[in-house]
Amino acid sequence: MRLALRGVIAVLGRGWPVLVMFTGLGLLGGLSTALLATPRFEATARVFITATEADTPLDSLALTIYARQRLQSYAEVVSSPAVLRPVALELDLDASVEELASSVTATPVPDSLLIEIVAASRFNTEAPAIASAVARELVQVIELQLESEMTAEGSALRVTVVENPDVPMAAAYPHLIPSVSVGSVVGFIMGLGVMLLRHSFDARVRGLRDVQIVTSLRVIGTISRDRKADLMTIALDDDDSRIAKQFRSLRTNLQFFGFEARNRSVLVVGARADQGTTTAAVNLALSIAQLGRRVLLIDAQMRSPEILDLLGMPQAPGLTEVLIGDASYHDAVQSWDEVPELFVMTAGRIPPNSRDVLGSSRMRAVIDALCDRFDDVVIDGGSASASADATALASVVGSTVLVARAGHLRRAHLTAAIDALEPTGTLVGILVNDQPSVGVDAMEEIGGSIADSMRTKRRSRRERVSV
């Protein structure tokens, strides 16, 4: 339920411009209809039908019942040529009988002997004139034609115009407020449909919002998109840069949630290739080294190693040689001149069976031994989807961080990576890389420390309790 609500909020958060645009178009459409449509004025006249004086109360009652039975028939007579043709001639209307009939309606008033005649016209003075004329002609037709035989016998119905219409001051159609309201609602519904359709066909992960739609797994950091910077940017000297602050926040959150596992090793792995895992691993290692801790950075991308070229390290025995016994730790670990606290172990030569090597008990023993020699170990594991190497490696480390690069990943890829890594029990959270800073996909970043936030909440609760 929480994940579904988060997804709805995320969809609305991205799609609100579409929703606002369609609602605005609907509002303008309703306003245009109200202002440009031909106005229609309506006027109402009422005719009362009753029995003339009868000899006995029983005869009077019979005539009243007869009048009630005839009301519907009399109302239908209104649209006949016998009534409307004289009206058209009297008022010199430029309309045929059929056209006039479409603008005049007659309806019996329930539980009464009244017939209500409503006439419509685009002129406010013409509508009451038509209604009055129709009422007068109906009286003539009923008394002189339909009831003439009973009149000759001295017992008939009396038809009287009891209400003449006034000149309407406002048009019955269109109404400004209803037209605008209906247009806005229709526009909103159309915008909602377009927004949901767009979301269902767009399977890309565009940022933090989409990650929160796909999974309830904790997001432990976001790295902002910087169009001026390269994907391989290293936050080395600029301690006040935005990317440096974000990696320090990631470091704090990771220490709070997962770095106190059975060993202080963290695997950085991407949901697929080209997620920026190498840069993330290097910058995370640098942020930890800034604390004065001895950090070992290991390149475990045995199929496509990148750390050697990125840091400008010389060729030397690497992880592969250590695992197969061709080199010792001392031979494979190199110091990096830029940061004395940072040490590097490159991938070494590419083995034919990297999955078996990385997931072996030997790899577990190597990680444990290196954790004893260094304060922290950060491992670049490459892509979780390119091969099973990252999954095998995740089972032997203390914690795993999954990198999802906004705009370069589909939801299915992220879901598949999570499904592959969660069974290892080491997946602690997601790092959203290349998070948009502006536009509809931008939102508040995980820039502050989650740990600090939780400590603040606990402190606030303690203060409330103490009070």
Which carries the bigger pLDDT value, residue 426 or residue 353?
A: 426
pLDDT of 443 strictly over 60: no
Q: Answer yes or no: do 71 and 114 share one domain.
A: yes
- Do 378 and 274 fall into the same domain? yes
Same domain? 247 vs 391: yes
Q: Tell me, yes or no, whether 343 and 356 share the same domain.
A: yes
Q: Is the pLDDT of residue 42 over 70?
A: yes
* Residues 73 and 208 placed together within one structural domain of the fold: no
pLDDT of residue 299: 92
pLDDT single digits (tens) 264-301: 899 999 988 888 899 999 999 999 998 899 999 999 88
User: Please, what is the average pLDDT of the chain?
Assistant: 81
Same-domain check for residues 209 and 70: no
Read off the pLDDT band of 461 (50, 70, 90). very low
From the list 240, 246, 199, 243, the residue with the least C-alpha distance to 221 is 246
Q: CA–CA distance from 19 to each of 148, 184, 185 (Å)?
A: 66, 11, 11
Regarding whether 147 and 85 lie in a shared domain, the answer is: yes
Determine the structural domain holding residue 182 and report its residue range: 14-37+174-200
Report d(CA 429, CA 250) in Å as an integer. 10
CATH assignment at residue 145: 3.30.70.1130
- Condensed to tens digits (0 to 9), the pLDDT of residues 71-86 reads 888 899 999 999 999 9
pLDDT of 3 higher than 70: no
Confidence of residue 118 (pLDDT cuts 50, 70, 90): very high
User: Is residue 384 located within the same domain as residue 457?
Assistant: yes
Give me the residue label for tokens 């906004």: 406
Identify whether 8 is part of a domain: no
In-domain check, residue 4:
no
The answer to the question of residue 94 being in a domain is: yes
C-beta of residue 119 within 8 angstroms of C-beta of residue 101 = no
User: Which tens digits make up the pLDDT trace of 125-174?
Assistant: 999 999 999 999 998 888 888 776 554 454 467 788 888 888 888 888 77
* Alpha-carbon span 47 to 108, nearest angstrom: 10
Q: Tell me: pLDDT of 341 over 60.
A: yes
In a domain, 258, yes or no: yes
Nearest to 136 by CA among 114, 110, 162: 162
pLDDT at site 59: 63
What is the structure's pLDDT at 429?
A: 92
Measure the CA–CA gap between 322 and 298, rounded to whole angstroms. Answer: 12
- What is the number of domains present in the chain? 3
Nearest one of 374, 385, 342, 346 to 234, comparing CA atoms: 342
458 or 313: whose pLDDT is higher? 313
Average of per-residue pLDDT across 246-260: 79
- CA–CA distance, 46 with 107 (Å, rounded to integer): 10
Reply yes or no: is the peptide bond before residue 174 cis, omega within 30 of 0.
yes
395 and 445 fall within a common domain: yes
Q: Which of 13-17, 59-63, 204-208 has the lowest mean pLDDT?
A: 59-63
| Same-domain status, 65 and 153 | yes
251 shares a domain with 192: no
In angstroms and rounded to an integer, the radius of gyration of the C-alpha atoms of the chain is: 42
- Indicate if 313 and 285 belong to the same structural domain: yes
What confidence score (pLDDT) does residue 119 get? 92
- For residue 3, tell me if it sits in a domain: no
Q: Indicate whether 294 belongs to any domain.
A: yes
Give 309 or 352, the one with higher predicted confidence: 309
What is the predicted pLDDT for the residue at 438? Answer: 58
Q: What does the pLDDT read at residue 46?
A: 92
